[in-house]
Amino acid sequence: MTKHSYRPVVITRPLAQAVPLARQVRAIGREAVVFPLLEILPLPDQSRLLAAMQDLGSYAMVAFVSPNAIDAAFRHVKTWPPQVALAVVGEGSRAALAQHGLTADNATIFSPADRERTDSQTLLEVLDLEALRGKRVLIIRGETGRELLADALRNEHVAVEQVAAYRRAAPSLDDAKRDELQRLLDASGDWIITSSEALRFLLQMVKDVSGDAGVVKMQQQHLVVPHVRIAETAQALGFIHVTQTASGDEPLLAALQFHA
């Protein structure tokens, strides 16, 4: 495709992950609009995170729940101990590790084998739980999140420590953002949604800006989502046109080219 499609692609990831994807979207000839639905904010007190990063060598494995967790943690890491394995749940997190110099060539990285469903459950399927029994595992996460991974590891007699590295918040809706959201509602676009929480924030924003009529209009937009759980959330919230892809940027871009 050499000319731009008139359908905008709305990228709703947090800003740090949205900007690189926007460049890729423009490279395939689509208009990219960066409209983050989540703000990633540092915690006022980072002492626990700093202490954990200074004690990395005492853990058998460190699991990161998101690229944001990786970026926050690696601000305090100079060199990764080669004996400490890493675990991530999605291709975005693998890419974030690579940006910090860690790949399968120089580190042990566990991630789900099935890119169609990347979550804590499928991560557990590839871990050597027997080898982790009696050892320490660190989970780096947001201020809130699911407990499935930690609970499952503890059930296998793994000593789990969870440390928050950031918090998520809905972005503020100033006049410029309200106008942009209304413009996007009036257009027929492809919305990349990578979080169920972000999708709920979006519907609340739409209701604040345009009322129930705006919500109906939003429900008719086309969503592109990288996980079955987000697709299920979207359908439960009344969205009609939902395309589910595998994890990672390449499947998202392929879906956008197909639906251009």
Q: Which residue has the higher pLDDT, 146 or 43?
A: 43
- Which pLDDT score, from 0 to 100, does residue 7 have? 84
pLDDT digits (tens, 9 = 90+) for 228-242: 889 999 999 999 999
- Residue 201 · residue 178 · CB < 8 Å: no
Rounded CA separation 2/24 (Å): 14
| 45, pLDDT greater than 80 | yes
Q: Which residues contact 161 (CB under 8 A, 6 or more apart)?
A: 52, 136, 137, 138, 139
**Kind and range of the H or E element at 115?**
none
pLDDT at 10 over 50: yes
pLDDT at 181: 95
* Token couple for 148: 């499935």
Helix runs in 75-147, H state only: 91-99, 120-124, 129-132
Model confidence at 14: pLDDT above 80: yes
Please, are residues 168 and 40 in contact by the beta-carbon 8 Å criterion?
yes
Check pLDDT > 50 for residue 125.
Answer: yes
Contact of 49 with 73, CB cutoff 8 Å: yes
pLDDT of residue 180: 95
Residue 114 has pLDDT above 80, yes or no: no
Give yes or no for residue 243 having a pLDDT over 50.
Answer: yes
Distance of CA 70 to the CA centre of its chain: 11
Share of the chain above pLDDT 90, in %: 73
Predicted pLDDT at 116: 65
Which pLDDT score, from 0 to 100, does residue 127 have?
93
The pLDDT-based confidence of 1 (bands split at 50, 70, 90) is very low
Beta bridge partners of 171: none
| DSSP of 135-196 | SEEEEEEESS---HHHHHHHHTT-EEEEEEEEEEEPPP--HHHHHHHHHHHHS--EEE---H
Please tell me the predicted confidence (pLDDT) of residue 118: 63
- Name the DSSP letter for residue 30: -
**Burial status of residue 120 (CB atoms within 10 A of its CB: 0-12, 13-18, 19 or more):** buried
How do residues 181-224 score in pLDDT, each as one tens digit? 999 999 889 999 998 999 999 999 999 999 999 999 999 999 99
Report pLDDT for 12: 96
On whether the CB atoms of residues 243 and 223 are closer than 8 A, the answer is yes
CB 134 within 8 A of CB 154: no
Mean pLDDT of 115-141: 87
Give the mean model confidence (pLDDT) for residues 26-32: 93
- Kind of pairing between the strands at 39-42 and 159-169: antiparallel
Q: Which domains does the chain have, with CATH numbers?
A: 9-38+172-258 (3.40.50.10090), 41-168 (3.40.50.10090)
Write down the pLDDT at residue 117. Answer: 67
Averaged pLDDT score across all residues of the chain: 91
pLDDT-based confidence at residue 260 (cuts at 50, 70, 90) = low
C-alpha closest to that of 260 among 44, 39, 30:
30
- Residue 76 CB burial class (10 angstroms; 0-12, 13-18, ≥19): middle
> How far from 183 is each of 31, 113, 135, 190, 218, CA to CA, in Å?
14, 40, 53, 14, 12
Taking a C-beta distance cutoff of 8 angstroms, is the pair 30, 4 a contact? Answer: yes
What is the tens place of the pLDDT at every residue in 48-102? Answer: 999 999 999 999 999 999 899 999 999 999 999 999 999 998 888 999 999 999 9
